[in-house]
């Protein structure tokens, strides 16, 4: 993991860089593995609590942490050079994590090794690679262990109190996720937006981040700055009473609407989950797809600025409409 240094002025070709600029002091990237059972294992530090160099350390040569691989679809042009682009999609991602496990004795080596193996076991479910940059921004990637920890007793790979391994992990979703949700609220009474938000995320180090709130009015417009180059799919939670609900992304022209006669009763919650692989509309756990208008779309937030309009009628101070989403990124760096 390099220590990046940037310059505040980019020189023209042939010119010298600004000699007064001081490179940024940037700490090393910190990497952890979180097993399906919640055990968090530092991969760039000492997990024994004893004096370095005991512990698990990331060595040179990690791969697959950057841009995902894309599958391009195209048609060959008849009687002409080249082809015609059709579509593209990001494929699953394999990453390689080379590690050295070093103990102060044989017993501590075995304890660290066995703890790591238990946390990697894919039959218990996926784990998470979390990368925290020097600025404190953390992103995680859900992965399954594939190979690399089979073990080798070759002299260059293992000793009495140390061993080397190169873990291969596979992410079914190739995008890195932020550790903080973005949240926007619309309510009739602004005080209603101050109610606590409880996330149902399974990610163990997840803490929601509330960005802003606005009054549910005839305008109902809020600007959302999506700082990633990857689509973000929001989850809406709408607590009644609500009628005539319309959720519109005016930037893209996409709209989600309930039928004119569809209502959310007082105290009931309508959940609209647009995330790929889930995509559901439920009212207190009951399928509510029939309540949608046929011209509705479960739209995403596009990279950059999105202006969202929320309109509804028959609201009371207990009415609350909430949008929350987790930004996704092409790499652990952004």
Counting beta carbons within 10 angstroms of the beta carbon of residue 211, is it exposed (0 to 12), middle (13 to 18) or buried (19 or more)? middle
DSSP, residue by residue, 8-57: SSPPPTTPPP-TT------PPPEEEEE-TT--EEESSB-SSSSSTT-EEE
Strands 209-215 and 182-187, bridge-based pairing: parallel
pLDDT, residue 194, reads 45
| Mean pLDDT rounded to a whole number for the chain | 83
Residue 300 DSSP one-character state: P
pLDDT tens by residue, 21-71 = 777 787 788 899 999 999 999 998 754 445 556 788 888 889 999 999 999
pLDDT tens by residue, 184-229 = 888 775 444 444 433 334 444 333 333 334 444 445 688 888 989 8
Dihedral of CA atoms 178, 180, 186, 187 in degrees, nearest 10, equals 160
pLDDT, residue 204, reads 42
The CA-based angle 224-227-233, given to 5 degrees, is 65
Residue, of 199 and 151, whose pLDDT is higher: 151
pLDDT, residue 51, reads 55
Distance CA 164, CA 55 (A): 12
Q: How far is CA 183 from CA 50, 85, 86, 148, 204, in A?
A: 41, 37, 35, 39, 19
pLDDT, residue 237, reads 94
pLDDT, residue 212, reads 35
pLDDT, residue 297, reads 92
pTM exceeding the 0.85 threshold for the entire prediction? no
Residue 168 CB contacts under 8 Å (≥ 6 apart), including other chains: 94, 95, 96, 145, 146, 147, 148
pLDDT, residue 333, reads 86
Q: Provide the terminal-to-terminal Cα distance of the chain, rounded to the nearest Å.
A: 15
pLDDT, residue 126, reads 96
């Amino acid at each position: 993991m390099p220590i990046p240094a940037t310059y505040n002025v980019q020189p023209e070709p042939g010119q010298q860089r600004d000699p007064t600029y001081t490179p940024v002091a940037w700490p090393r990237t910190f990497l952890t593995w979180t097993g399906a059972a919640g055990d968090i294992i530092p991969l760039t530090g000492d997990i024994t609590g004893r004096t370095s160099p005991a512990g698990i350390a990331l060595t040179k040569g990690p791969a697959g942490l950057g841009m995902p691989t894309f599958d391009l679809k195209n048609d060959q042009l008849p009687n002409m050079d080249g082809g015609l682009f059709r579509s593209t999609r990001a494929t699953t991602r394999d990453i390689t994590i080379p590690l050295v496990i070093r103990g102060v004795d044989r017993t501590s080596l075995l304890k660290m090794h066995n703890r790591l193996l238990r946390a990697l076991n894919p039959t218990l479910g996926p784990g998470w690679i979390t990368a925290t940059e020097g600025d404190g921004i953390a992103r995680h990637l859900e992965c399954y262990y594939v190979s690399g920890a089979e073990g080798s007793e070759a002299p260059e790979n293992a000793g009495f109190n140390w061993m080397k391994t190169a873990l291969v992990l596979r992410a079914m979703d190739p995008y890195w996720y932020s550790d903080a949700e973005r949240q926007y609220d619309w309510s009739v009474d602004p005080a209603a937006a101050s109610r606590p938000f409880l996330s149902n995320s399974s990610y163990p180090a997840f803490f929601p981040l509330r960005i802003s709130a606005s009054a549910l009015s005839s305008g109902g417009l809020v600007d959302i700055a999506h700082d990633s180059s990857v689509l973000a799919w929001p989850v809406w939670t709408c607590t009644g009473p609500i009628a005539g609900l319309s959720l519109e992304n005016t930037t893209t022209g996409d709209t989600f609407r309930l039928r004119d006669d569809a209502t959310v009763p007082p105290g009931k919650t309508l959940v609209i989950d647009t995330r790929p692989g889930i995509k559901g509309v439920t009212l207190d756990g009951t399928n509510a797809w029939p309540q949608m208008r046929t011209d509705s779309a479960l739209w995403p937030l596009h990279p950059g600025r999105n202006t969202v309009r929320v309109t509804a009628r028959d609201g009371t101070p207990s009415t609350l409409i909430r949008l929350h989403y987790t930004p996704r990124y092409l790499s652990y760096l952004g």
